[in-house]
Amino acid sequence: MFGRPEVNHVSETLESEENSEASDDDAANEACKEFLRTSDDDEEDFPHFTISSIGGSTRSALTR
């Protein structure tokens, strides 16, 4: 069953999408870390973090 080309194509597509989502999450996490390193420690300007689930993957975002 897994030797059929259409099944292999679906498996490769799913793996590619998972890798893409993981790299998006890594980029978002790095952006948050960089913001925290460069921001002032003033409590008023300190961002609030929200974590939402989109399509089964977790993404973090900065909000005010």
Q: What is the pLDDT of residues 29-64, one digit of tens each?
A: 888 888 877 766 555 555 666 665 555 554 555 554
Quick one: three-class SS letters along 1-64?
A: CCCCHHHHHHHHHHHHHHHHHHHHHHHHHHHHHHHHHHCCCCHHHCCEEEEEEECCEEEEEEEC
**Average pLDDT score over residue span 1-13:** 57
Range of the domain at 59: 5-63
Domain count, the chain: 1
